[in-house]
Amino acid sequence: METNHHHPPGPHGLPWLGVTFELVKNPLGLLERMGHEYGAISEMRYWRGGRILLNSPELIEQVLVVQHQKFIKGVLLRLTAQRLLGQGLLTSEGELWRRQRRLAQPAFQRARIAAYAPVMVRLAAEQAEEWRPGERRDIAVEMMNISLRVAIRTLFGLEMKSEARAVGEALTAIMRRDLRRLRSPLKLPPTFPTPANRRAENGYALLEGMVSRIIEEKRSDGGGSDDLLSRLIEATDEEGVHMSARQLRDETMTLLLAGHETTALSLAWTWYLLAQNPEAEARLHDEIDRTLSGRLPTADDLDRMPYLAAVINESLRLYPPAYTIGRSSVEPIDLCGYHFPRDTVFLMSTWVTQRDARYFDDPLAFRPERWLEGPAPEGFRYFPFGGGPRRCIGQPFALMEAGLVIATLTARFRFRLIRKVVPEPLVTLRPRDGIPMVVEERR
Ligand code: HEM
């Protein structure tokens, strides 16, 4: 194909500012509109420059897999997550990333993860003990509570009182403030004492305090434990040197946040979807009741509940917690007939592609059956966990946790929706103002 040096098509917006206003006000709507109107490749221009949206499985595969050496993580993740995650597994590059991924990988093998199943079930059941039929709960917070305790117990080997509400609020404040600063040309210094800045700075302090406490507790428990954090503390490089305190802090923060927030969101969105789709909910109840006959689920039970797996897949299709994945080119690249210089930023949006009628029939309908009727969708029309060498290390962990938590809670409860929920696209796809629901006992 002949290389075209012009820009891909895209929304015009204003001179210099481009689509800045729309990006600040309605980023999901903007991405959707671009995918819908321009198809496989389009460009948005805003005050920081251009961003290329790729909305075709073949192009996404080129960037994440085939030509992955030509890219590093996107500027959005680097700028928003640098202070929080530093050089942790999600954000580091090159040799450092390779080494840390090798160290962490054994903790995510199937057999290891199956051993976490009883903890996942116990912590979900414990959380539900607090619920009274008829009461109103923010299901997003309840799910954060479960997944935060699961992550701390399984990855760090600690039992800590859950601080999920505070952690959730800290993350929201940080993401809201930092993303707004990134998307908007008008900004005050982060230390200027506005309420938004104060909330974000308090959020950073809370998370730093929590990570320091986790590392301190771990160091003082005498070593010899077999959890991921102990292994990272004990690991040495070829010269026998331990990880620096800074690196350990970065990995702990990364695992703490990546290990609980996305899974909690996918659980919360799943309850939200089930509450609006009573037929799917009834079919799920039936499968879980028949399989478990009133006992608690195990890892092996998950293989016997295909509809449950389909519900989770379908929820990750419609409400993918990682709603965009970004990459920056480190060398010039030709894609789809266009020539892009180095430092071009590419966005691949699970939200856009997984809701595109070219790739899924009746794309906005919640229909778990689609996962049981035909072969699984091929290639990068569905990629909630990314792809290529940087694909999510925690995918089996997240899928097992989601399945076990849903099976444990469904055995006793269902949740009724009180009001419509608006997704808020921060670094992850969060429900603005939570998901308040009424807890009902099933029997
Ligand atoms: C439903 C839940 C989850 C979703 C949707 C999700 C999604 C993703 C995605 C899309 C990526 C790739 C990002 C990119 O390529 O830029 C990623 C990476 C990562 N995820 Fe997950 N994730 C989930 C759960 C988890 C869990 C439970 C853990 C840990 C226990 C985890 C740890 C990580 C780490 C460490 C990376 C970076 C991997 C690397 O670059 O080597 N994630 N995740």
Task: Tell me if 200 sits within 8 A of 174, measured CB to CB.
Answer: yes
122 CB-near residues (< 8 Å, 6+ apart): none
> In this predicted model, what pLDDT tens digit does every residue of 94-153 receive, in sequence order?
999 998 998 888 888 888 899 999 999 999 999 999 999 999 999 999 999 999 999 999
Question: Does residue 88 have its Cβ closer than 6 Å to ligand 1?
Answer: no
Q: Within 13 Å, how many C-alpha atoms sit on residue 217's CB side?
A: 15
pLDDT confidence bin for 1, thresholds 50/70/90: very low
Q: How far, in Å, is the centroid of ligand 1 from the Cα of 386?
A: 8
Which pLDDT value is given to residue 435? 97
Average confidence (pLDDT) over 354-379: 94
Nearest CA to ligand 1 atom 43: 392
Of the listed ranges 39-48, 55-64, 65-74, 138-147, the least confidently predicted one is 39-48
Average confidence (pLDDT) over 167-177: 86
In angstroms, the CA 177 to CA 426 distance is: 10
Element (H, E) at 441: strand 436-441
Nearest CA to ligand 1 atom 20: 392
On the question of pLDDT at 24 being above 80, the answer is no
- pTM score, whole prediction: 0.94
Q: What is the DSSP string of 205-236?
A: HHHHHHHHHHHHHHHHTTS---SHHHHHHH-B
Percent of the chain's residues with pLDDT above 90 = 68
224 CB-near residues (< 8 Å, 6+ apart): 230
Average confidence (pLDDT) over 16-29: 82
Would you call 18 helix, strand, or coil by DSSP? strand
CATH of the domain spanning 20-441: 1.10.630.10
Strands (E), 310-370: 325-329, 333-335, 338-340, 345-348
Which pLDDT value is given to residue 296? 96
> Domain extents for the chain?
20-441
Of the listed ranges 53-62, 237-246, 288-297, the least confidently predicted one is 237-246
Q: How far, in Å, is the centroid of ligand 1 from the Cα of 392?
A: 4
Which pLDDT value is given to residue 224? 67
Question: Does residue 394 have its Cβ closer than 6 Å to ligand 1?
Answer: yes
Q: How far, in Å, is the centroid of ligand 1 from the Cα of 348?
A: 15
In angstroms, the CA 271 to CA 368 distance is: 14
> In this predicted model, what pLDDT tens digit does every residue of 185-194 receive, in sequence order?
777 777 778 8
| Distance (Å) of CA 243 to CA 61, 104, 151, 235 | 34, 13, 21, 7
Q: Within 13 Å, how many C-alpha atoms sit on residue 275's CB side?
A: 22
More confident residue, 170 or 223: 170
Which of 86-121 are b and which e, b meaning 16 or more Cβ less than 10 Å from the residue's Cβ? bbbbbbbeeeebeebeebbeebbeeebbeebbebbb
